[in-house]
A and B are shown apart, each in its own frame.
Chain A
Amino acid sequence: MKSLLIKMNVNGVDREVLVDPDDRLLDVLRDELNLKSVKEGCGTGDCGICTVLMDGKPVLSCIIPAFQANNHKIVTLEGLNSDPTMQKIQQSFRKYQAAQCGFCTPAMEVVGWHLLNTEKKVDKNRIKEAISGVLCRCTGYYDIVDAVYEVAQQ
């Protein structure tokens, strides 16, 4: 029997979930709440593709024990899909063909969205910094940077 009750607000909805001490936030989001945009790439906090927003800031859900999400606010890509800025980012990703295998795409979009929502003036170097914690193995990053930059210009 799962032993710990946690309360989270996930994508705007209050949730109560029973978790085990060895459940990660990633597991709860994917397996319990069916938020599959959150991916696992390394399980050790080194690739960034499990990135979600916790209390508004990008964090790595694979190295956050689920019990530490108690009383926190979590947002995943699913929670941003109807946001106008996110939709612009998504359109721009399509335009620049910035999603190749697509596995890093949700995390890239989430960190990109966070950047555009927290900073007014954003140049390409700042975008590179902001996405530097998310690895991509397909694109070489250029198309991703261009896609975010185009939205930043609007």
Chain B
Amino acid sequence: MEQAVFNLSQIEVFQPASLKEALKILNDNRDAEIIANATDLWPRIMNGEVKPKKLVDISGLRSELSYVKREKGVIRIGALTTISELSEHQFVSEKRYRAFNDAIKLFGSPQIRNRATVGGNICAASSSEDLIPVFLAYDAKVKLASVDGERIVSLDKFVVGKRELSKRHNEMMTEVFFEEPDDGYSSVFYKIGRRNTLIINLVNLAVVGKVQDKRVVDIRIAANRVKGKIPERARKTEEFLKGRTLDEETIADAQRVFGEELSLSDDFRASAEYRKQVLKVLLKRGLNVLGV
């Protein structure tokens, strides 16, 4: 059967000068894909995995979409903020945001961090995107803009499947934001792969929570895969832990609940069984970080 061959030189490229213009182009071109700084999308275009007829290049919209704002108890991150820029912001050095710091350190290479954007990482929507579980653990929401206006969607309702976003064709994610947890919260992020850097994670885990007098006041747990092929929250484990006293027995029970909640799969990088064992260990370590 003849395959449709896609001539890359025929791609129509739009380079809007403003967000408004970008949204108009998106609205007028159903078959257009958004391309930010392209670290994820460009290699996939070049190897034929993605065949966009039209590209809306938003990399020129940095003045509008690259920012980290901290106001009224909310942290807002513009979609075009690079990982390096995120790492330079003061908030990531706080204990309650250590998960960000951990994730950034293990994010790609220095060169990738200089290009990859927060919005791009979220919109790439796969289990290898390390920022998604971190944002999930902070109950983040995304702002979607279109010519019709803006709307807010919680992140777990936005990234709905592997390479699948719940958004209309004319919408663009412009911001991710979350309410700041109080400074009694702690957080941690783990990522394990076959070497120390430049890895696709075998597993990752973000834990954000508050433990007071050994009691779990609040807990959010997210991993690159829980049930499906995208990062998700481990809600059952969270429910189990909430309100309990964080002792060895609780942790052991939480590991068991977590193990039951996980539905992982094998691939050539590791077996599901190994992933599950490691995630349980990391959960224990994460809970111990919170308990300290």
Contact = CB atoms under 8 A, between A and B. Distances in A.
User: Does A touch B (CB under 8 Å) in the complex?
Assistant: yes
B15 A67 contact: yes
Interface of A: 4, 20-22, 24, 43-46, 48, 51, 54, 57-60, 63-65, 67-68, 70-71, 111, 129-130, 132-134
A122 B46 CA distance: 37
A132 B42 contact: no
Interface string B27-57: 0000000010111001100110000000101
> What does DSSP make chain B's interface, helix, strand, loop or mixed?
mixed
10 contacts: A24-B42, A43-B46, A45-B111, A63-B39, A63-B43, A63-B115, A64-B42, A67-B57, A132-B198, A134-B109
B112 A60 contact: yes
A65 B42 contact: yes
A64 B60 CA distance: 13
A131 to B, nearest CB: 9
Contact of A21 (B39, B55, B109, B115): B55
* Chain A to chain B: the 3 pairs with minimum beta-carbon distance, closest first: A133-B109, A22-B8, A21-B11
Contact of B112 (A22, A130, A133): A133
B32 to A, nearest CB: 13
A66 to B, nearest CB: 10
User: How big is the B interface, by class?
Assistant: 20 to 34
A16 to B, nearest CB: 15
Contacts of B10: 21
Contacts of A68: 35, 37-38, 57, 59
B11 A63 contact: no
Contacts of A48: 109, 111
B38 A4 contact: no
A59 B82 CA distance: 12
B115 A60 contact: yes
Given A58-B111, A60-B112, A67-B57, A22 B11 contact: yes
Given A21-B12, A67-B57, 16 more contacts: A4-B13, A45-B112, A46-B198, A51-B111, A57-B114, A59-B111, A63-B38, A64-B42, A64-B115, A65-B38, A65-B57, A67-B13, A67-B15, A70-B15, A133-B108, A133-B197
